[in-house]
């Protein structure tokens, strides 16, 4: 019995260690800051809606789900290849589920739940917004900071990004990062708000990865 217990404990420990090791870093989250203002010489790039997305992944004890959300509009102002300011609108009604086949009723059920008042309450809050507050290089990484607003709650986050230019097209890609949804009042199944969930909770951390394509105005 002791040997069996030790084996089970070892497996659990290994799984826990692997999960922690593989988990993306949480974005540094602070109070909202003033939006950045670009120099008059900055060049404007407009987001290409059908090429700009945010990949998401959510976790619970029994597994995970993943999908995409569309960036519906936005622009950045760039000087010498560096972003000086910008604002993006995220269409919350565009939440898509990719890990369940589109024709499976579970797909529509999950999307309906995510867009309902339980989670992002899309009818009341159809859009989220990201507004650039700064860009700096730290430890060799380019960190983009901005105010993320969801459900009328705003926090400033800093995420590692890379940018590239190809003619009149700019591409911005973030590393995979997480945000703590409870900081934006997304309460359903969260241990931050409820104490009696047992193993029926849903993790507060949501993994995100931004891919923005913008063209010169």
- CATH code, domain carrying 76: 2.40.128.110
Rounded Cα–Cα distance for residues 187 and 124 (Å): 16
Query: The dihedral of CA 185, 141, 216, 169: what is its sign?
Result: negative
pLDDT confidence of residue 198: 67
**pLDDT for the residue numbered 22:** 61
Is residue 19 a part of any domain in this protein?
no
Tokens encoding 30: 């602070």
- Token duo for residue 96: 């898509």
**Is residue 199 a part of any domain in this protein?**
yes
In a domain, 20, yes or no: no
Model's pTM, two decimal places?
0.86
pLDDT of 15: 37
Tally of domains in the chain: 1
**Are 174 and 181 contacting, i.e. CB atoms less than 8 angstroms apart?**
no
Phi-psi region of 140 (alpha: psi -120 to 50; beta: other; left: phi over 0): left
Residue 198 belongs to a domain: yes
Whether residue 142 contacts residue 162, with contact meaning beta carbons closer than 8 Å, is answered with: yes
Q: In this structure, is residue 141 part of a structural domain?
A: yes
Cβ contact 192:182 at 8 Å: yes
Domain region containing 166: 26-216
Asked whether residue 13 is domain-assigned, the answer is no
Dump pLDDT digits (tens) for 93-152.
Answer: 999 999 999 999 999 999 999 999 999 999 999 999 999 999 999 888 999 999 999 999
Residue 133 maps to a domain: yes
């Amino acid at each position: 019995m002791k040997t069996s217990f030790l084996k089970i404990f070892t497996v659990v420990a290994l799984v826990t260690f692997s999960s922690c090791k593989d988990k993306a870093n949480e974005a540094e989250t602070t109070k909202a800051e003033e939006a950045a203002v670009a120099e008059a010489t900055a060049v404007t790039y407009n987001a290409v809606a059908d090429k700009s997305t945010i990949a998401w992944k959510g976790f619970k004890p029994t597994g995970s789900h993943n999908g995409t959300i569309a960036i519906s509009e936005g622009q950045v102002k760039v000087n010498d290849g560096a972003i000086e300011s910008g604002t993006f609108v995220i269409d919350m009604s565009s939440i898509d589920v990719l890990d369940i086949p589109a024709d499976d009723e579970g797909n529509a059920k999950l999307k309906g739940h995510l867009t309902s008042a339980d989670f992002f309450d899309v009818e009341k809050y159809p859009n989220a917004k990201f507004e650039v507050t700064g860009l700096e290089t730290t430890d060799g990484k380019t960190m983009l900071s901005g105010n993320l607003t969801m459900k009328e709650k705003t926090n400033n986050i800093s995420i590692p990004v890379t940018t590239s230019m190809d003619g009149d097209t700019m591409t911005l890609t973030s590393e995979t990062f997480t945000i703590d949804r409870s900081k934006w009042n997304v309460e359903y199944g969260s241990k931050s708000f409820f104490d009696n969930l047992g193993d029926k909770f849903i993790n507060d951390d949501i993994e995100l990865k931004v891919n923005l394509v913008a063209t010169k105005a």
